[in-house]
Structure 1
Amino acid sequence: MADLQDEPHTDYAAHSAYTADTVPAGPGSTGAGDPAAPVTGSALERAVALLSEHPVTDGHNTLVWTLRQSPYHDIDTPDSGVDTDIPRLRAGGVGAQFWSLLPHEDGTADQVLSDTLDQIDMALALMRRYPDGLCLALTADDMADARNRGRIASFLGPVPGRTLTGSLGALRAFHALGVRILAPAGAPWARDELTPFGHEVVKEMNRLGMLVDLTGCSPEVACQLAGASKASVIVSHTAAAALKPHPGNVTDEVLLALRAAQGLAMVTFDAAQTGDSLHAVADHVEHVRAVAGPDCVGLGATFGTEPGVPRPAGLTDPSGYPRLVAELLERGWSETDLALLTWGNAQRVLRDAEFTARAAQHRRPA
């Protein structure tokens, strides 16, 4: 559970836009435009109450990329053209968001770097444009403070590891700009195996307090990265390969490596990876918990897209989070384990990265 200093201020509930009435429980209800899952009213009410204290930390949202195509879109107002906006984040009980800054297309290292810097600039502009809704977060304390002030804590990253080509300068520049997560997948130093330079990248990320995101890495490289890092690692958006084979889903071998490293696997709402029902998503969450442990499971829905991405019914935008929590309550999850799933586990890995960084800075110069 959260530390005492992280207990939410009573103003958080006042700032949240959702209540039990705004997320209907009956079949065919619309909520924020998508059909609700068949859950009981009492479970949904308990879910809403739990999320008011322990909101969701979502590990992956691509809204920054989407807004590059329509930079004047107003995320203070719901719009059917994009699945993410501040009202729906609040309706779903999202208290912290990792904003993905990964490019959607391959290119040269210079092109990828330029594109990533553009996205960082856009993300920072988004924080300035919506100061009452979004708040840049650099630490776990920032995450708790934003929640207590009724803001959505916004972490920058992941950024692509393939921007690092033989030098750690870009990594340190990313950190100075506020980035706290990097994804090695696709980088030459983490493609077939973790190279000596790759080990140096991981050590420097540990020194800086940045999270290593294993999403998209082969099982072999993912296990190598988890073993090389002295801080907890994450998989920002994935599902269980044992339930549904998919290139983006993690094997039980990787989940066991995450358990050993006290890492975090964040389950996606991409129907291609999970299946097309809320029940299927809950199955993946339960499998990850069973293999990796209750301290190593989180949520990374992969919202932030335009219409057309297949989503499980009832989970088509961030307002659906209470329905998933209600489903897990009906399956017998304790509120303690649910608080870890939504908030506690993500906060723990951030604190662990910060603790590791403080220790490493005494031993390793920049």
Structure 2
Amino acid sequence: MADLQDDPHAAPALPGGPGSLGVPDAPAPAAAATALDRAAALLAVHPVADGCNTLVWTLRQSPYHDIDTPDMGVDTDIPRLRSGGVGAQFWSLLVPPGAPAGDDRTPREADQVVSDTLEQIDVALALVRRYPDGLCLALSADDMADARNRGRIASFLGPVPGRALTGSLGALRAFHALGVRILAPAGAPWAQDGLTAFGHEVVREVNRLAILLDLTGCPPMVACQLAGASKAPVIVSHTGAAALNPHPGNVTDEVLLALRAANGLAMVTFDTARTGDSLHAVADHLDHVRALAGPQCVGLGAGFGTEGDAPRPAGLTDPSGYPKLIAELLERGWPETDLALLTWGNAQRVLRDAEFTARAAQHRRTP
């Protein structure tokens, strides 16, 4: 059962003083904890909800990996997720750009996208079934809290590509029935140069189903339009601040302000091309997002799950590096209340708000 600490609109108070998150703010000098000690203690109460991991695609290509034990062939496994304090993971079901989609027997590109998405869902569900002691399929904010309380990593399926809808809301409902809770409009014909009439229907239906819209990769104008059209919060599952690095995958200040207005969430990635080659550079992007969008709209979406030596910032080469990043933010003066929102609270709140919106929409509209 979800505990009361998961109210997204109030930071929990645990032993250690008024407003404390269970970690002393100002320990006595003789027993002063290091920033890394404080980070580890905070993550024990407020673990990381990571917005992006591409392990599903990696396992689809190389199914021999066993993530129950440390595996140097891939940067994600359950021991390192636990070591880094990860309590919830969004498993991306997107196919990487340039990767082959479908096979020679599929004549139409649209069919390839649908087939490939179903394959990704199948691998993701098999992954969760294979490791029941470490992973737990999550369909709601309550599932997220329950998995944490039982010592499991809550596993959300998505995003799936908006292109896979092929003009059908029935396809969207079918993905929802399979457990998908996140949809990425980028590249979909209904959200390329602005929302089409069908695009507006998609937004209304994802709101009704409590599916999150992931604006990663959307042009700024489209991202702002989607954020404004959705009655539920939207997310950007892995990104950086374009003001610090004008990478095409990073969000502009305009989008960050739109996220703030929509109570959305920008989740900062650990991709050297987007956020730099050091832990310090990643922290700079988090500082910028927090300053512009507000502490209630910043999260973490590392983008782990790759095979081989993917370029990662020093100190953040796999999920076990999360405590180092939290320690860096503590040293920069981030209050523990903001860090609790960054790691867990903001993701929990976005899911709960989407579910509230869905309940309201279901009273007003039938499929």
- TM-score normalized with structure 2 length: 0.89
Q: Equivalent residue for 1:303?
A: 304
Q: Equivalent residue for 2:201?
A: 200
SS of residue matched to 2:88: strand
Which one of the candidate residues 76, 83, 105 is aligned to 1:84? 76
8 Å Cα contact 1:238-1:300 kept in structure 2: yes
Which one of the candidate residues 47, 56, 69 is aligned to 2:61? 69
Q: Equivalent residue for 2:148?
A: 147
Residue 308 of structure 1, CA deviation: 3.1
Distance, in Å, in 2 between the alignment partners of 1:168 and 1:336 is 40
Residue 5 of structure 1, CA deviation: 5.2
Unmatched runs of 5 consecutive residues or more in structure 1:
8-39
SS of residue matched to 2:309: coil
Residue 69 of structure 1, CA deviation: 1.4
CA RMSD of aligned residues (A): 1.3
Which one of the candidate residues 75, 80, 93 is aligned to 2:85? 93
The amino acid of 2:87's aligned partner reads G
The amino acid of 1:217's aligned partner reads C
Residue 259 of structure 1, CA deviation: 0.2
Distance, in Å, in 1 between the alignment partners of 2:51 and 2:167 is 28
Q: How do 1:125-144 residues align onto structure 2 when only pairs under 5 Å count?
A: 125-144=126-145
The amino acid of 2:56's aligned partner reads V
Distance, in Å, in 2 between the alignment partners of 1:158 and 1:80 is 26
Alignment: residue pair count: 333
Distance, in Å, in 2 between the alignment partners of 1:3 and 1:272 is 39
The amino acid of 1:99's aligned partner reads W
Q: Equivalent residue for 2:4?
A: 4
Q: Equivalent residue for 1:259?
A: 260
Q: Cα distance 1:182–1:106, how it changes in 2: closer, same or farther (>3 A)?
A: farther
| Alignment partner of 1:269 is 2:261 | no
The amino acid of 2:159's aligned partner reads P
Distance, in Å, in 2 between the alignment partners of 1:335 and 1:5 is 15
Distance, in Å, in 1 between the alignment partners of 2:90 and 2:153 is 10
Q: Cα distance 1:5–1:54, how it changes in 2: closer, same or farther (>3 A)?
A: closer
Distance, in Å, in 1 between the alignment partners of 2:251 and 2:63 is 34
Q: Equivalent residue for 1:109?
A: 110
Q: Which sits farther off after the overlay, 104-113 or 172-181?
A: 104-113
Distance, in Å, in 2 between the alignment partners of 1:5 and 1:80 is 36
| Alignment partner of 1:52 is 2:27 | no
8 Å Cα contact 2:6-2:345 kept in structure 1: no
Distance, in Å, in 1 between the alignment partners of 2:233 and 2:5 is 22
Residue 6 of structure 1, CA deviation: 3.7
Distance, in Å, in 1 between the alignment partners of 2:310 and 2:272 is 8
Q: Equivalent residue for 1:290?
A: 291
Distance, in Å, in 2 between the alignment partners of 1:332 and 1:102 is 36
Residue 80 of structure 1, CA deviation: 1.1
Residue 48 of structure 1, CA deviation: 0.2
8 Å Cα contact 1:106-1:112 kept in structure 2: no
Residue 149 of structure 1, CA deviation: 0.3
8 Å Cα contact 2:3-2:145 kept in structure 1: no
Question: Percent identity at matched positions?
Answer: 84
